[in-house]
Amino acid sequence: MICFQAEPICVLTMEGRASQRKIIHCDCDSFYASVEERDDPSLMGQPLAVGGSPNARGVVATCNYAARNLGVHSAMPMSRALKLIPWLIVVPTNMEKYRAASKAVHEIFKEYTLLIEPLSLDEAFLDVTNSDRLEGSATLIAREIRQKVKERVGITISAGIAPNKFLAKIASDWRKPDGEFTIPPNEVQQFIQNLPVDKIFGVGKVTAEKLKKLNVFTCSDLQVFREPELTAKFGKFGKTLFKLCRGVDERELNVERKRKSLSTERTFPKDLKDIDLCSERLEALIIDLRERLSKLGPAPPIKALTMKIKFSDFTQTTVSRQAQAIDSKIFHELLRKGFSRKNSPIRLLGVGVELKAELNKKSDGRQKLLKW
């Protein structure tokens, strides 16, 4: 077993400064589904999906591992999931119940640190660098958190422990579900060498394909390139690639919630030629937006609803209306208004919300994180 000890293990980053941070990334395992299994043990071990009704073009919000192993995944249309697994158990979302479970988990986090960056209801970064709990061992803190979540909340949570956010996030996936993995500073270089480049945050299919053409498959392959070479090929992201492929991530924990808006959009394989087809596709987007908004935690105050429309000729328009909640009727009215501006086939639809300024206030008692 590898642990961070009370005395920080120091390694020099490429900037020559000592790395002493202890970051834990905690991620509840198939959160919604786990809460449903907790409340109804008869669901344990059976393929389970949480989300909207297949008769109302619902989508899978999350599913348990039994369903994942058979091909179901988040954001999949529920009708398709049922075709894959006809015996799939479908449970409607219960956000009130999930928020309560999330609050209980976060209360456990606060027993160890107030430097918490919540990413969603079921996921957060914790900085335990200066924690005096369990003699300062980040690994033991993560282990105790996982045990308390299991005992008090009745679900499992996985944890990754590392000197920065990038590595902690990767580590939390390493032994999922219900596992933990530690990357101490003195083992970062060994760990990063064989890490596939598509594990780097921001490397999607397009960038991965470009790297493949350069015969770059692992972080060690990428380390051959100098920073100017990467910026020449990938722009500003080249600088990020240069650092992350060496295990360097200087991002601080964002302990303030500064989100001003939230949106979701979809580009369609074939252009939608009339308003009725657009209306059908709109419902799935609205459901997705509700799910994304719920992951921010306690219901955030909304000040407006927005819609983005991109036509087949790549021109686009945006329409909005003041509102205090997600309203399907308003979105359909915005769709009609936006569509009437051009009356042309549509290749992309997007829906979003603008949030009130209350989310920008600092949380009481939270300190600013020290840099490396």
The percentage of the chain sitting over the pLDDT mark of 90, rounded to a whole number, equals 64
Clarify whether 123 is annotated catalytic.
yes
189 and 56 belong to one structural domain: yes
252 within domain boundaries? no
- The first and second tokens of residue 258, run together, are 């500064």
222 within domain boundaries? yes
What integer pLDDT is reported at residue 256 of this predicted model? 61
What integer pLDDT is reported at residue 369 of this predicted model? 35
Mean pLDDT throughout 240-251? 94
- Residues 35 and 98 sit within 8 Å (Cβ to Cβ): yes
* Active-site residue identified among 37, 123, 180, 291: 123
Kindly report the CA angle at 136 between 131 and 141, in degrees rounded to 5?
A: 85
Question: Which domain, by its residues, includes 200?
Answer: 194-244
Buried b / exposed e along 69-99 (16+ C-beta atoms within 10 A): eeebebebbbeebeeebeebbbbebebeebe
Domain termination site, one of 214, 244, 274:
244
Q: What CATH number is given to the structural domain containing 202?
A: 1.10.150.20
Which three-class secondary structure state does DSSP give residue 353?
A: strand
367 within domain boundaries? no
Q: Is the pLDDT of residue 333 over 50?
A: yes
73 and 156 belong to one structural domain: yes
Exposed, middle or buried: residue 369 (CB in 10 Å: 0-12, 13-18, 19+)? middle
230 within domain boundaries? yes
**142-197 residue pLDDT tens:** 999 999 999 999 999 999 999 999 999 999 999 999 999 999 999 999 999 999 99
199 and 235 belong to one structural domain: yes
202 within domain boundaries? yes
CA nearest neighbour of 115 among 102, 128, 134:
128
169 and 215 belong to one structural domain: no
Higher pLDDT among residues 188 and 55, named by residue: 188
Q: Which residues are CB-neighbours of 348 under 8 A, at least 6 positions away? A: 265, 266, 267, 268, 308, 309, 310, 316
**297-320 residue pLDDT tens:** 566 789 999 999 999 888 999 999
What integer pLDDT is reported at residue 29 of this predicted model? 95
249 within domain boundaries? no
Q: What CATH number is given to the structural domain containing 12?
A: 3.30.70.270
**227-238 residue pLDDT tens:** 999 999 999 999
Domain termination site, one of 175, 193, 211:
193
205 and 277 belong to one structural domain: no
Q: What CATH number is given to the structural domain containing 320?
A: 3.30.1490.100
128 and 267 belong to one structural domain: no
Buried b / exposed e along 100-128 (16+ C-beta atoms within 10 A): ebbeebeebbeebbebbbbeebbbbbbbb
94 and 200 belong to one structural domain: no
The percentage of the chain sitting over the pLDDT mark of 70, rounded to a whole number, equals 88
Amino acid occupying residue 62:
T
Mean pLDDT throughout 316-341? 93
Mean pLDDT throughout 95-106? 93
92 within domain boundaries? yes
- Report phi then psi at 47, rounded to 5: -60, 125
309 and 224 belong to one structural domain: no
338 and 281 belong to one structural domain: yes
66 within domain boundaries? yes
Q: Which residue shows structure tokens 């407006």? A: 304
64 and 155 belong to one structural domain: yes
276 and 200 belong to one structural domain: no
Structural domain count, the chain: 3
23 and 150 belong to one structural domain: yes
What integer pLDDT is reported at residue 246 of this predicted model? 95
